[in-house]
Structure 1
């Protein structure tokens, strides 16, 4: 119990201080329900998720409806959607109070592992292997749902990779080509700045949005080895690739590549997308879930949009096929047992059935299922899947991979860089101190 309490307090401290990050079988899916609800009656399964807006809300609702219609069970599912930026804090506060919903989404990595260690995620290995999921889901997504040889979650929402969405008409207006190197990306950005256009539509109040720049720059400078070495203690986050990434962010901030007040702008409120729509910004480095969001907001504007992976360094031998993201994006974990667990798991399997996969693809998603590339017709989603297939490896987002306290140090220092309030060396030192403290405690 001491270990469990310690882990939960660690999670709680990180999320509350950071204050920033992301519910079925009768088909009751409500936005007006009790958003503090964690448990229901004996036959009610409470499912916490982040489906507060379309298209995600429609996807959750459809899965719950499919479960209700196809299953002969007394169980009903109550969906409790919570806005992305408060979800993690809310989940950990519930756990710290000794409560946890029957089903809940997470992003795998370090936080999921702590949920497991704290006793709030049940192994589903037998249920999983006895289902059709091993044959349906991408192996990489199953690997991200696995901890110590057991499966603890169902990956379902998206192949989510960071990449750059750009306005094709604006590129054409200024006679610009899609950049293939960071140097060319800087030349494109300089052209936009000279013409009074913000190169990147970044809303960095939640911190993870700006983190994408840091991760991509570090990977293009040093590959994945420096990160892996820093995590296992054989290296350090004061490696030159992390300092170089910080320097680039500071340089780009100074050159006007980001909007004024970037650290006060809200991603959840759509402020970055509004800059794209108003054409005051030309590009946005963001997760590939933007395909569905932009299509939902404005199908007409979506026709103006293109996508390209983060470019590599000119003359570098670092592998520039490496992608940053996750093969699965959202994962469903379970805090229930026996018949309730079996029913909740069955509901989760609906996300990978053919009818749902078709619906998700039509909504701009790329669910982590085998053969999904054969269903894609949209050129942007096809480009994203091509990048995923061509990638030598996919680096999970730092704030998902790292232990929560270390992830928060990364997010905090990254945001400081965008504000120009911390040097790259100081940011790297603070990042490393958090990592070392975690390693010392673990040992």
Structure 2
């Protein structure tokens, strides 16, 4: 069974690698969003140890109901995508605090490039080089990691030992088939439209509340010489944000849920998907996106750069952009950037379709554990150490305070909009917590093989290479194949 699922996973990776070798171009923002495909791999490895003499006299885990960790030398290989600050410093600090308390345990922390992370992870699994502890985004890929034997069921550990009081949605997104497979640590991530308040004021544009008003704003911005939306779609998942929201506004969750199961007429060619694809291609033809949108990379922040130089007025993106822009230039960010939720579909609303489905994640990221001995049995000593690191150091007060300081909201009960100072982050949080449902990013929710097809479809969609119907048929075929292989 394990070999079967590895074969399915590896087949999708080979397809992606073949495309990359033929000259595909891509790369996204390194934050908490999804993986993308890229020709090159960039990583930074942090191998830090702490001498026993420098260890604190008491551990921050003292007095807690946790597994007793080994005092023998132990090594843990950890993969994440924290290539940039503030995430890089925050996550490295968590590892440092753990090793200060447990100086016999060496954690090798590898910061993988976000863009091709999923592919690198599956290659590592297929070649027997899977890290002991690795981050992911939950959803369909997490379920496949479990089926392939590379994510340990930690349901019993979680019930037995101390852990943060995560919100229910975070535990749900970290679970599959009633089994807890990951420990959340990245916090909540919403998706909204960042806009240049100065440009809007200059042009007399009010924040749009409907899609019709959004299109009117785009026309006015175009006439004034601005690019309405900054988008770097070489990363593919960035364009998917528009697709997801237009589907959600036109049908709530109903049509995506049906397409996912392919039951009762469910299809990626249902009315909401056709509406979304037609709308996007209409916007492309009208010039609402940058020229060469499919060649711009989010990993190099080329979308953000168009906001910085005043070329573009809006950017639909994940809430991690708040801290990214603030980190680049806080004064400019504070003076110029506002945020609003994706506008409503007036006709769908009149027909009773809920308009408060939001796109994002309740966990941001999660850690799963691949702690096995050579004979295939669970390495309990290593698993215990990984559990303590993930629950007690990536989720301790210090980590959470560092998260809040940069506008992130931990997916732990007690945190919310009142814990952040940034006015944009407050809006994002309020939108998130008032949502009727939070739809996890498609490229994290869908099975890995379907994810790659979906992302390639976003290239075809924004490149006007295929019709909405052809794109829907591609996604249907991939979903049907994945269901059959399960």
TM category (shorter chain) comes to over 0.9
* Corresponding position of 2:7: 6
1:384 corresponds in structure 2 to 428
Number of residue equivalences: 427
Q: Separation in 2 of the partners of 1:360 and 1:392? A: 25
Unaligned 5+ segments in structure 2 are 21-25, 27-33, 36-42, 48-71, 372-378
Please name the residue that 1:312 is paired with: 344
Matches within 5 A, 1:197-216: 197-216=226-245
1:85 and 2:129 aligned: no
The equivalent of 2:360 in structure 1 is 325
The answer to whether the Cα contact below 8 Å between 1:164 and 1:310 also exists between their aligned partners in 2 is: yes
Task: Find the aligned partners of 1:119 and 1:77 in 2 and give their Cα distance.
Answer: 22
Shift of 1:165: 0.6
Change (3 A) 1:18 1:95: farther
Counterparts in 2 of 1:101-250, with a 5 A limit?
A: 101-133=131-163, 135=165, 137-234=166-263, 235-250=266-281
Shift of 1:245: 0.4
Q: TM-score, normalised by structure 1?
A: 0.92
Question: TM-score normalised to the size of structure 2?
Answer: 0.84
Which of the residues 404, 407, 410 maps onto 2:454?
Answer: 410
Structure 2 counterpart of 1:74, from 101, 104, 107:
104
CA contact (8 A) 2:192 2:342 kept: yes
Counterpart among 331, 334, 340 of residue 382 in structure 2: 340
In structure 1, runs of 5+ residues without a counterpart are 23-29, 35-40
* Cα pair 2:164 2:395 within 8 Å, conserved: no
Check whether the contact 1:295–1:364 (CA below 8 A) recurs between aligned residues: no
Q: Distance in 2 between matches of 1:92 and 1:131?
A: 30
8 Å contact kept, 1:323–1:393: yes
Note the 1:258-297 alignment, pairs <5 A: 258-297=289-328
- Distance in 2, Cα, partners of 1:357 & 1:237: 39
Once the two structures are TM-superposed, the CA of residue 376 in structure 1 deviates from its matched residue by 1.5
Q: Can you list the C-alpha shifts for 1:296-319, whole angstroms capped at 9, x where unaligned?
A: 111012111111111111142321
For residues 137-192 of structure 1, the C-alpha deviation after alignment (integer angstroms, 9 at most, x for no partner) is 11101111111211111111121111101111111111111111111111111111
Q: How much does 1:133 deviate?
A: 2.8
Q: Once structures 1 and 2 are overlaid, which stretch shifts more, 165-174 or 352-361?
A: 352-361
1:380–1:130: structure 2 CA closer, same or farther, 3 Å change rule?
farther
**SS of equivalent to 1:425:** helix
- Are residue 57 (structure 1) and residue 95 (structure 2) matched? no
